[in-house]
Amino acid sequence: MFYPTSLLTEMSRIFFEETGWEELADSLNKSDYSNVFVLTDKNTNRFCLPILEAKVNQSLTVLVMEAGEKHKHLHTCSQLWRELSELGADRNALLINLGGGVVTDLGGFVACAYKRGIDFINIPTTLLSMVDASVGGKTGVDLDQLKNQIGIIQEPSFVLVDPVFLKTLPENEFRSGYAEMLKHGLIQDRDYFERLSIYRYDIEHIGKSIYHSICIKSNVVAQDPTEKNLRKILNFGHTLGHAIESYFLDHMNYDRLLHGEAIAIGMIMESELSHKHSGLSSDDRNRIKEVFESIYPKIQLQADDISYIKELLRHDKKNRSGKIRFALLESIGKPVIDQVVSDEAIDDAIAYYLS
Amino acid sequence: MFYPTSLLTEMSRIFFEETGWEELADSLNKSDYSNVFVLTDKNTNRFCLPILEAKVNQSLTVLVMEAGEKHKHLHTCSQLWRELSELGADRNALLINLGGGVVTDLGGFVACAYKRGIDFINIPTTLLSMVDASVGGKTGVDLDQLKNQIGIIQEPSFVLVDPVFLKTLPENEFRSGYAEMLKHGLIQDRDYFERLSIYRYDIEHIGKSIYHSICIKSNVVAQDPTEKNLRKILNFGHTLGHAIESYFLDHMNYDRLLHGEAIAIGMIMESELSHKHSGLSSDDRNRIKEVFESIYPKIQLQADDISYIKELLRHDKKNRSGKIRFALLESIGKPVIDQVVSDEAIDDAIAYYLS
């Protein structure tokens, strides 16, 4: 399976596989960086850093953070800022973020705000961060239980995408990234959604699919970088999905639910909202549920869980003037934004998922 | 004394006095802000907020932080982010920063990083923040004892400058701002430096002088927004001055030293460095010391103080590859950047100030 070696737009510079490694080497050779730092978490430090080190012929100063969503927090940023200061990092330092979305989102914010901004490069190592965090320039960390409450929008110098890192990825992480790819199909390309439902995460097709997903997202973001209009379609499944994700993050007695797994649930619920509110046919709605249920395990939610999730919904940063707005579907491949739905419709959507 | 009512450049929009209040009213009327927040400190809440409220015919939600440099800290940002979340601030909220440099620097960062960025307007209420923080888009907070270690560069929607706020300003605050104005003369305009030495802070001339200072700074920043070259001249007096300021902030047994008071000391020291290193004549050097000593009280420094200050110097964020670089003067009005000086020269410069 072949696909292009780079995707260069006004907003983002993404290089794939060998072309990416060449770009990285070039950048390190040509640029007058005073120091090159690599941010890893405990997992990528073990599994991915050796791959990076084998490719880069230069001394790297490695920073390690704890792995997992609950460390995507301002406290972690403070620790890293302190560490960078102690290591003498100046404004001409470079930060390479090697990891999943937690590392790239948090590391991006750390770089943007350290001494008013140093260069950074993202090397996503999970499927989710390759297809989602690699484009759009969102950086951010959580504040208490509110996701991505703190952050800014800034593109990295470039992104290096290499599926080689997926070889050591656990299945639930793979499934999590796949949800965003399925979403790209749902909001822009019905055929792609159907192809993904057949390929599952067949490693032979994954490079090409990643490229296609990045193209879809990149195309949307380029048309609306600051999320005033079109970009909101990327939030399909995310309004309810984020609330569910926050809820699980906050109640650790449950097994951990990964971002994409929560978004998959959100997409089933929001396809029911779309059916009731924006004309999605029952065939399309049923097809969406069928595909997701074939990949993602069903989660049980009790009445208490549901009322807490609805409370979190009201804090979503996409709300405007107190109203919860959804990105929904008119049909598979055709999204519609800024949909305000009733409280009862939300209850029905949750019930539909549970049914 | 008359001067223009606004200064509009590609980078900044600054409106003065009545024109500023009209712009603010227009902006609040035309824009679809979901909520208007005002950040004050305990002083501006008491002395300046009533002036703002009398001018604005709209409900404002007021946030209050503790006054003073030591609260320009990431903890304060977290508190404010939490407060904004609890008050339901969404991405279409506006934040008006009403206060000195601590409030505008910190409030700017709070706005830029809240939900990946909300609009903000700065209304500086001290002389220092009018002439310094009002242009250049620097936002920032301290990390431990390192000044402005965390922040980003982003211009506010606009800045409203009205000397009316100076009427309640204590003399040491006035003196602090005046140091930056004297610096503008030293780096760009000898006549202005001499005029300022005569006017002192005569309220009749202050509006025009503020305008002139803002023009000088704005002109420098426009030519080099990201501080690669020319903008560094604004750091005259700041390399040693910042270290002195940090030192006093960290050792609260001393009386408090305001930013400009520390920079004034830094400028005397760095004029001696300029004399030894970059050709500043002894006449110019002596004139600088004479003017500053006529306005600013002398501070005593012991051997212990000096070695701590030199330690802080090494952490300055303007350092590059471990070397401390100074912006110095060739003559009054003619600066030179990126000057590396010896350790002994720094000792001599400190001794010169103390002599």
Best of B115, B313, B314 to substitute, by most chain A Cβ atoms within 10 angstroms, is: B115
Which structural domain range is residue A232 located in? 171-201+225-354
Q: How confident is the model at residue B5 (pLDDT cuts 50, 70, 90)?
A: confident
d(CA A138, CA A109): 9
Q: Are residues A241 and A152 in the same domain?
A: no
Tokens representing B230 are: 């020319």
Cβ pair A319:B90 closer than 8 A: yes
Q: Which of B81, B85, B318 sits opposite A315 (nearest CB)?
A: B85
Chain centre distance of CA A125: 12
Q: Which of A268, A326, A313 is nearest to A294 (CA)?
A: A268
Q: Are residues B96 and B236 in the same domain?
A: no
Q: Are residues A128 and A23 in the same domain?
A: yes
- Is B209 within a domain? no
- Is A214 within a domain? no
Q: Are residues B141 and B189 in the same domain?
A: no
End-to-end CA distance of chain B: 39
- The answer for A 41-100 residues in CB contact with B (under 8 A) is 74, 78, 81-82, 85, 88, 90-92
pLDDT at B31: 83
Secondary structure of residue B178 in the 3-state scheme: helix
B237 contact partners, CB below 8 Å, separation of at least 6 = B179, B183, B263, B264, B266, B267, B269, B270
Asked if A320 has any chain B CB less than 8 Å from its own CB, the reply is yes
Q: Are residues A54 and A194 in the same domain?
A: no
User: Residue B240 above 60 pLDDT?
Assistant: yes
* Helix and strand numbers, DSSP H then E, in chain B: 14, 11
State pLDDT tens for residues B75-105: 999 999 999 999 999 999 999 999 999 999 9
pLDDT at A1: 55
d(CA A126, CA A130): 6
State pLDDT tens for residues A261-271: 999 999 999 99
Q: Are residues B182 and B301 in the same domain?
A: yes
Using the 3D structure, point to which of B168, B185, B210 is the last residue of a domain: B168
- Is A85 within a domain? yes
Q: What is the ipTM of this complex?
A: 0.80
Asked if A116 has any chain B CB less than 8 Å from its own CB, the reply is yes
- Is B212 within a domain? no
pLDDT at A136: 81
Q: Are residues B141 and B250 in the same domain?
A: no
Q: Which of B115, B143, B150 sits opposite A317 (nearest CB)?
A: B115
Q: Are residues A160 and A262 in the same domain?
A: no
> What is the total count of domains within chain B?
2
Rg of chain A taking only CA atoms, in angstroms: 20
CATH of the domain at A140: 3.40.50.1970
- Is B258 within a domain? yes
Q: Are residues A192 and A147 in the same domain?
A: no
Rounded percentage of chain B residues whose pLDDT exceeds 70: 96
Q: Are residues B138 and B181 in the same domain?
A: no
Q: How confident is the model at residue A255 (pLDDT cuts 50, 70, 90)?
A: low
Least reliable range by pLDDT among A224-233, B288-297, B305-314: A224-233
Q: Are residues B148 and B297 in the same domain?
A: no
Detail the DSSP E strand segments found in A136-258.
Answer: 141-143, 146-150, 159-161
| Side-chain-facing half-sphere of B158: CA atoms under 13 Å | 20
- Is B207 within a domain? no
pLDDT at B255: 61
Q: Do residues A99 and A46 make contact, with C-beta atoms less than 8 angstroms apart? A: no
Best of B31, B139, B143 to substitute, by most chain A Cβ atoms within 10 angstroms, is: B143
Taking residue A238's Cβ as centre, other Cβ atoms within 10 Å add up to 24
Tokens representing A82 are: 């302190």
Residues of chain A contacting B139 with CB distance shorter than 8 Å: 116
C-alpha distances in Å from residue B206, one per residue of A338, B2, B3, B214 = 50, 11, 11, 12
- Is B321 within a domain? yes
d(CA B43, CA B257): 18
Q: Are residues B104 and B252 in the same domain?
A: no
Please state the rounded mean pLDDT for residues B189-196: 96
- Is A209 within a domain? no
d(CA B131, CA A4): 52
d(CA B290, CA B193): 12
CATH of the domain at A344: 1.20.1090.10
What pTM did the predictor assign?
Answer: 0.83
